[in-house]
Structure 1
């Protein structure tokens, strides 16, 4: 119960998963930050320099096959393969696939470097064309999520690390030209610092979840503009020994009247006591898990202990 459904077979650092069905097929594609837990280097070198990994399921999420890493995402002028790719958001919209990628030039060993959200398009999820970085609220933005709001606009939510690790939004009519909208959730006592926003519709409401590094904070809305905090899900440990840690940076796939949440954990990091970060290679390793979300009486609930091998996307 609740054991990992996928671990990266090369680096063992799969994080920030996003899952999408390939149009016209029975394939589900998982894109993820391919962290490098075992890399040598000072301070935060290991969390930078990551490519985007890919895994594919042909049995509705029961099993996942590693497909390598996405090529061609480096910015012009940057050293190919020598940059940092984080937290891809991949959706199908306006007749093609779009990726909104958190991008850092180079492989820094510290946090104080510019980060952009960069847009790519693809006809097939395999070859990607660079559109370019978005002009947003600061030069330290990551973790994009895109969803079409009931007002007819595409809306992009993201983390602004330059402004208290808060969530901001921008809007577009065509997925290419974006207008900054403003701050959505402040990094404050009412909405503590967080990352990884994800928006979806389920059970007659719109939902926004964010990673507060103690589980996923839940907000509910009638219009995706005004959000009311509901609480935390996935803060309690799962049954399996590899799912005892906080659920981090999640993605949600809607399947009928329920949703499947993909999240990652650090199975071997004692995160409650080692608050400065993973202290060694074993603690840095990560695993992807799945759980089920349902809405009952207007409340979003989470079932964490879903068996591995369940065809959750059917």
Structure 2
């Protein structure tokens, strides 16, 4: 048997993901080109990964460039993947009208005991300026057995009428929910629950005394971590108890990447810890792409990218230029 034949046989024996590398962009919405704020969960029934995302109306061109109506009236898009690297569009998620609304943002997925939970930001209507008088936001809880049909749960009382961007994790025998409270200077605060229904404040103050949004809390390398969007890269906090946090000096994805479609700061992340590795899924505005020179609205478009998180001495880092060549492994 020749060496070439042996190499071919070995190559064919490898799993498909061994040859795949995450494309750039990893994913873009084929309808409105405004995928952002992703949350990824494994569908045990269909044996595939499902990405839920804010489906911004990025191709809309309002006469007033300062008008942010295109970030409102947003549905939640879906995409599916066998390995977390190759994604295909899955249409729009459908939710009960009685507990949601016209503008939906930032889905957060959590699975336990055969039930999928989603915490979804709901804005009642379409607004044209950030912080517009009368604008409110709430976080609603929904449940599903199949990630298709959703039932209304509760609307947690979070002590504010402008709360967005939930992140949920189980710490010991209790659940914790972190979110951005725009009435408190856009600080991230937390509540705790024994049952995912009844919540009480966790501590008296914010997680960190700085404005940020899109928190994501996860367990990795024997520590709790939080990454959040500070609009100048992603801040990183670490903790031993998921209650008291230490801010990392360096940020992730603060500097633009060099590869096409990844040439702006990274924003509003999700993190999937899988097989002892951690993958950071983030969105990137297309303002620095060549198309934006001819189209002033092109920067509204956003795409999803992925990079692997590395930990060294209690510090997280990400190399957005490094290819992600091994994807997510399906849980047993």
Compute the TM-score of the two structures, normalised by the length of structure 1: 0.88
Aligned ranges 1:214-229 → 2 under 5 Å: 214-229=232-247
Cα distance 1:62–1:51, how it changes in 2: closer, same or farther (>3 A)?
Answer: same
1:305 pairs with 2:321: yes
- 2:280 counterpart of 1:261: yes
1:106 aligns with 2:122: no
Q: State whether structure 2 residue 222 is matched by structure 1 residue 207.
A: no
Gaps of 5+ in 2: 1-21, 290-294
2:299 match: secondary structure: helix
Render the CA deviation track for 1:101-120: whole Å, top value 9, x for unaligned: 00011222233311000000
Deviation at 1:73, TM superposition (A): 4.2
RMSD of aligned C-alpha atoms? 2.0
User: Which residue is 2:261 aligned to?
Assistant: 242
- Superimposed CA distance per residue, residues 66-104 of structure 1 (whole angstroms, 9 cap, x where no aligned partner): 01111124335x8xxx71000000110243000100001
Equivalent residues in 2 for 1:83-102 (5 A)? 83-102=102-121
Count of equivalent residues: 295
**5+ unaligned residues in a row in structure 1: which ranges?**
271-278
**Aligned equivalent of 1:15:** 36
Segments of 4+ moved more than 4 angstroms: none
1:7 CA displacement: 0.2
- Paired with 1:269 and 1:165, the residues of 2 have a C-alpha distance of 27
TM-score normalised by structure 2 residue count? 0.84
Q: Within 2, Cα distance between the matches of 1:40 and 1:268? A: 15
Question: 1: distance between equivalents of 2:326 and 2:29?
Answer: 20
After TM superposition, the structure 1 = structure 2 runs for residues 120-269 of structure 1, keeping only pairs within 5 Å, are 120-150=142-172, 152-181=173-202, 182-186=204-208, 191-231=209-249, 232-269=251-288
**Whole-Å Cα distance in 2 between the matches of residues 48 and 242 of structure 1?**
23
Note the C-alpha offset of 1:257: 2.4
Q: Which has the higher strand share?
A: 1
Matched, 1:62 2:92: no
Separation in structure 2 between the aligned mates of residue 124 and residue 62 of structure 1, nearest angstrom: 22
1:27 aligns with 2:48: yes
**Structure 1 residues 256 and 104: alpha-carbon distance in aligned structure 2, compared to 1, 3 A threshold:** same
Larger Rg computed on CA atoms: 2
Match of 2:306 among 257, 280, 290: 290
* Higher alpha-carbon deviation: 28-37 or 172-181: 172-181
Say which structure is richer in helix: 2
